Structure 1
Amino acid sequence: MSKTYYIGTFIHSLTLTTLEIVEHGIICVSNGIIRSIQRMGEDYSESDSTLPPSAFLQKLGHDNNNAQQLTIRIIPKNHFLFPGLIDTHIHASQYPNLGIFGKTTLLEWLNKYTFPLEASLTDPAKAKRVYRQCVQRSLRNGTTTAAYYATQSARSTNILTDVLIDLGQRGFVGRCAMDSDLQPKWYRDESPKAAKDDTSACVGYCKEADQSGRVRGIITPRFAPSCSRDTLSNLGRLLADGEQDGLLCQTHISENKNEVELVKQLFPECSSYAHVYDVHNLLTPRTVLAHAIHLTEDEIALIKSRECGVSHCPTSNMALGSGSLWVRHLLDEGVKVGLGTDVSGGYDVNVLEAARMACLVSRGVAEGGKGERSKISVEEALWLATRGGAEVLGLGGKVGGLEVGMVWDVILVGADEVPVDQDGEEAEKMLNGVHHDHDGKQTKIGGKVDFFGWETWEEKLAKWLFSGDDRNIRAVWVGGELVCRK
C-alpha cells in the first residue's frame, strides 16, 4: 500500500470557536484516507527530506516497512494544510452572469438575467464550456465539495455531472424542478410527472456515471413558487425513497421579503414558507435550505426539529439586497449552518469571500441591535466554511477536518514573506508579482497576502481570510488525488 507523509503545519477547526494549529506535524495518507497524525517537536528540518524514506521515517519513529512505496512532502515556510472549502449552494449554470444584477432584486433578476441564460444551456457545447469554467474556478479557489444547481434540462444537468467527474471535484448535482407559471413557458417542466421523471433520471445518471459516490444527484425543487403542489409532493416521495442511499434535497427559502409574500399568496393553506415544504415531506435531515433570512421563530423551530441544514449566502444576500441573516441566532438554536457562494446572485465562486462577508454582515447585524455576540469571528467563519458545510451536506466526519479516518480533501495555502532588505526596485518587482530569492531565482508572489515574519499563525489566518484569493491556494486534493496544483 502506497503512503504519503505530509510534514509541516496543518490547521483545522476542532469546534465552532476553536482552531487547532499544529506547526510541526506529520500526516500519513493512503488510498485517500488519513491513516495517522503525529504532532512533533522541532526535531526535523527541510534537509531531512533528502534522506532515503526509510531513514527519514526511522528518525521520526515510524515503521519503515515498504519504504519504497513512500512519498514525503515537506510543507514550505508560511504554508499550511487546511481542510478543503465546502460550498453548500452554487448555481453553475449562472456562472457567466457573475456580477450582473443591475438594479434588480430577486424576482426581477430571475426573469431578466437568470432564466434566459439557464435556458440557453440546452446547447451541449455551451453548457460544457460554462460548467468547466465554473468548476475549474471553484477548484482553484480551494473548494473541494460543492452543491450545484444546474438547469431545468436533464441533458444539461448530466453534462455538469460529467464535468465534475472529469475535473475531480466532490459534488452534488441538481436538476431544477420547476413547473409553475412563475417561469416563462419556454423554461419550465411540462408537468409534475415530467419534473419527477427527469429528476429521477438525473439522480440515476450520477449513480451510473460515478459509482464511487464522489458525485451524487440531489433533488432540487427550485423554490416553492416554482413548483406545483403535485411536483412538491412527487419530489417528497422521491426523497423518502432515497433515504437509504442518503439522497439529499436542496432548495431556497425566505431569501426575499417579496418572495415570502408570494408564497403566502400561492399556498394560503400553509402557515409559513417552511410549512409548505414540510407538508410535502421535503424537510428532513438531508435537506439544504439556502438563505433563510426572513424565517419566523416558529419556522426556525420547525427546521431545527426536522434537522435541516441552512446555507448562509451573505455575498448574494448583500448583492441582491435581500437582507442580513442573523446567523448567530440559528447557531444558538442548534441549526446546522454552512456557507454558500450562491453564484451568480453572489459575485464570486470563492468560499473565502463568503466567509469574510459572513463576518462583516454579522457586524452590521450586531450594530443593528442584536448585540456584540452576533459577531462572527475568524474561527467561526472558517468552521462554517469547512465543518459546518460538511454537516449541512451530510458529510460530517468524512470531510471538513483533519482527523484519522477522514478523507484527504485538503488544500495547501501559502503566502510569501516580504524580504527584510528590499530596495525600491525589489519592492516594485514584488508588487508586480515577482521577487528574487536569496539565490537569485525568480518566483511568483502569492496574491495580496503579505507576511512579514512576526505574525502569529492566528494572525496569518486572519490575513488569509480577509485578503486571500485563489493565488494563495497552491494545491488541492480531493479523495487523495491532486486535482489542482499551481
Structure 2
Amino acid sequence: MDAVQHVFKGTFIHSTTSCDCEIIENHILGTDHAGKILFFEDAQKQSILAQKWGFDESSIQELGKNEFFMPGMIDTHIHAPQYAFIGTGMERPLLEWLAHTTFPTEDTYSDVEIARNIYDSVVRRTLKNGTTTACYFATIHTDASIVLADITSRYGQRAFIGKVCMDRNDAYEKYCETTEDSIKETERFVEILKGKNYDRVKPIITPRFAISCSEGLLTELGECAYKYDLHIQSHISESPAEIKEVSKLFHGYKNYTDVYNRNKLLTNKTVMAHGCYLTSEELKIFRERGASISHCPNSNISLCSGHLDVRNALSHRVKIGLGTDVAGGYSISLLDAIRKAIETSKIIFMERSKNGRDNNEIGNEKKPNGINGDAQIGSMETENNFKVLSYKEAFRLATLGGSEALSIDHITGNFKVGKEFDALLINPEAQDSPFDNFSHTSREDLLQRFLYLGDDRNIKAVYVAGRCVVPFPKNT
C-alpha cells in the first residue's frame, strides 16, 4: 500500500469529460509520495479512509471557509526568451514585430548567462501565477535550451522544452541555422534531456513556423519526432500575411496545414499555436490526426493577427488549450488568457450579430460567412446557434483542455484518482486581494470572481505532482 503524503479537506473545483465546471464541497483528497491522487471522497468517510490508508486524522490540512482547490493551469504556448521584453514593442504587426524585436533579442541567448537570468525569472513568474505546466519555445541555442530545462526541473514545474529550429530567416539573417546543424543540435538536445531523466520535463520538436523552415528541415524534424516518439509544437495560420508568405514558399501544398501534415508534423502529440484562419478542411485534418490548437487570444489581439473561433474548432472536435504566447501576449497569467478567450468569443458574437442585422436590413437572403439572422434580443446566442464561451468553458480550456491538447490528460488536468496532484489553493480573501467578498457570495461566484478579477495574490499555494512549489522553498 502506498503511504499517504498529503490529505486535504474542503472544496475542490475541476472539469471532467462531461462537466465544464464541477464544484465539490466537503470532500477529502489524499496523495501518495509520488504525487498521485490516492482517494477523493466525501469527507463523511474521513475515519474510514484514515483506517484504510493509515493516516492520522490530525494531519489533515483543512481549507479555510472560502478557500478552494482548482487544477493547475496549463500554458500550451509560451516563448520563454521573450519574457525579456514582455509588455513592449506591441505597436507592430506579427512579421515586423519578429524582425524588429524578437529575433534580435533571441539571438543574444547564445550567451548562456543571459539565458539563465531570464529563464529563472520566467519560470518563477509563471509558477507564481498558477502555471503548473508550460509548453516552452526556447531559442536555436542548444546549451541555453538545456539551461531552461534544468531550471524548470529545479523549480518543479511540469514542462515541455523546445529548442527552436529555423534554417531560413530573411527578416534577420544573423539568427538562423543550417539544415544540418538544426537537425544535429536537435538530436543532441533530445539525447541530453533524455539522459537527465527529469521527472516531468520533456523535449518537444519545435520548428518555429513554416516561413522559417525549409521543406527539407520540416521533413527531417518529422522523422526525428517519429524516431524519438516526441511531442511537436509550432505556429499555424496566425495572420493573413503569414499565410500568404507560406503559400509563396511552399508550392504544391494545398494549404498551411498540408505543409505540416505531409511532413509528418501533425500527430496526436502536436500542438499548433493560433489557428485563426484554419478552414473546415484543415480542421478536419487536425481532428483526423489528433492534433490540437493553442488558443492565444491576447497575442492575437495585441499583434492584430485575428480571432480564433473556438466554438467552430470545438464543433470540429479539435482539442484546444489556452496559451499566453508571451511576449506576443503581454500577460504571463493564464487568468488573462481565460478573460481574453471569453472577450474574443464576444467579439465574434457581436460581429456575427451585426452582419445578420445588416443583411436583414438590406433584404439580402444570402448571409456572409454562414450567418443566418439577427441575434436574439437579450441572449448571447445568434440565430445560427453561435454561443459565447462561458467562464466555465474557459476554465476548462485552461485546465483539463490544456492537458488534452498536450496529450497528458491521463496524467493531469483534474482531480481524478490516479492522476498527479497539480493544483492551486485559491484564497479569495487573501491580504490585499484585488476583489472583495461578501457573506452571501456562493462558491460559484467566488470562482467566477477569481477568474475575472483575481491574480497571484489569491494563489495561496501551487502544487505540482503533490509537491508544494509555491511559496518557493528557500533553496530555490
Which residue in 2 is equivalent to 1:424?
none
1:445 aligns with 2:445: no
Equivalent-residue separation in structure 1 for 2:78 and 2:49 (angstroms)? 45
Equivalent-residue separation in structure 2 for 1:104 and 1:399 (angstroms)? 37
| 1:361-400 superposed matches below 5 A | 361-369=344-352, 372=381, 373-400=386-413
Equivalent-residue separation in structure 2 for 1:148 and 1:65 (angstroms)? 38
Equivalent-residue separation in structure 2 for 1:394 and 1:359 (angstroms)? 24
The aligned amino acid for 2:185 is: D
Give 1:266's match in structure 2, choosing from 245, 249, 254.
Answer: 249
Equivalent-residue separation in structure 2 for 1:460 and 1:28 (angstroms)? 24
Which residue in 2 is equivalent to 1:207?
194
Equivalent-residue separation in structure 1 for 2:156 and 2:470 (angstroms)? 9
Which residue in 2 is equivalent to 1:411?
424
3-state DSSP of counterpart to 1:471: helix
The aligned amino acid for 1:113 is: T
| 1:122-161 superposed matches below 5 A | 122-161=110-149
| 1:257-406 superposed matches below 5 A | 257-369=240-352, 372=381, 373-406=386-419
Equivalent-residue separation in structure 2 for 1:86 and 1:239 (angstroms)? 22
| 1:86-125 superposed matches below 5 A | 86-125=74-113
Preserved contact between residue 15 and residue 383 of structure 1 (Cα < 8 Å): no
Equivalent-residue separation in structure 2 for 1:129 and 1:211 (angstroms)? 21
Preserved contact between residue 4 and residue 70 of structure 1 (Cα < 8 Å): no
Q: How many residues align?
A: 439
Preserved contact between residue 94 and residue 114 of structure 1 (Cα < 8 Å): yes
Preserved contact between residue 6 and residue 466 of structure 2 (Cα < 8 Å): no
Equivalent-residue separation in structure 2 for 1:70 and 1:154 (angstroms)? 49
Preserved contact between residue 85 and residue 142 of structure 1 (Cα < 8 Å): yes
Which residue in 1 is equivalent to 2:359?
none
Which residue in 2 is equivalent to 1:471?
457
Unaligned runs of 5+ in 1: 44-56, 417-443
Quote the sequence identity (%): 38
Equivalent-residue separation in structure 2 for 1:359 and 1:482 (angstroms)? 30
- Aligned-pair RMSD on alpha carbons? 1.7
Q: Cα distance, 1:209 vs. partner?
A: 2.0
Give 2:447's match in structure 1, choosing from 438, 461, 481.
Answer: 461
The aligned amino acid for 1:39 is: D
3-state DSSP of counterpart to 1:35: strand
Q: Cα distance, 1:183 vs. partner?
A: 4.6
3-state DSSP of counterpart to 1:451: coil
Q: Cα distance, 1:462 vs. partner?
A: 1.0
Unaligned runs of 5+ in 2: 353-370, 376-380
Preserved contact between residue 26 and residue 40 of structure 1 (Cα < 8 Å): yes
Equivalent-residue separation in structure 2 for 1:271 and 1:198 (angstroms)? 31
Equivalent-residue separation in structure 2 for 1:285 and 1:162 (angstroms)? 26
Q: Cα distance, 1:67 vs. partner?
A: 3.8
Q: Cα distance, 1:307 vs. partner?
A: 1.1
Equivalent-residue separation in structure 2 for 1:16 and 1:450 (angstroms)? 32
Preserved contact between residue 153 and residue 198 of structure 2 (Cα < 8 Å): no
Q: Cα distance, 1:447 vs. partner?
A: 2.4
Which residue in 1 is equivalent to 2:184?
197
Equivalent-residue separation in structure 1 for 2:295 and 2:49 (angstroms)? 44
Equivalent-residue separation in structure 2 for 1:391 and 1:18 (angstroms)? 13
Which residue in 2 is equivalent to 1:9?
11
Q: Cα distance, 1:61 vs. partner?
A: 5.5
The aligned amino acid for 2:393 is: E
Describe the superposition over 1:100-143 as per-residue Cα deviations: whole angstroms up to 9, x where unpaired: 12420000000111011111112122111100110100000111
Equivalent-residue separation in structure 1 for 2:438 and 2:329 (angstroms)? 32
Which residue in 2 is equivalent to 1:21?
23
Preserved contact between residue 90 and residue 302 of structure 2 (Cα < 8 Å): no
Equivalent-residue separation in structure 1 for 2:53 and 2:277 (angstroms)? 59
Preserved contact between residue 286 and residue 393 of structure 1 (Cα < 8 Å): yes
3-state DSSP of counterpart to 1:450: coil
Describe the superposition over 1:392-413 as per-residue Cα deviations: whole angstroms up to 9, x where unpaired: 1110121010011010111101
Equivalent-residue separation in structure 2 for 1:67 and 1:340 (angstroms)? 39
1:37 aligns with 2:40: yes
Describe the superposition over 1:311-354 as per-residue Cα deviations: whole angstroms up to 9, x where unpaired: 00001101111111111000111000000000000011111110
Preserved contact between residue 50 and residue 57 of structure 2 (Cα < 8 Å): no
Which residue in 1 is equivalent to 2:62?
74
The aligned amino acid for 2:20 is: T
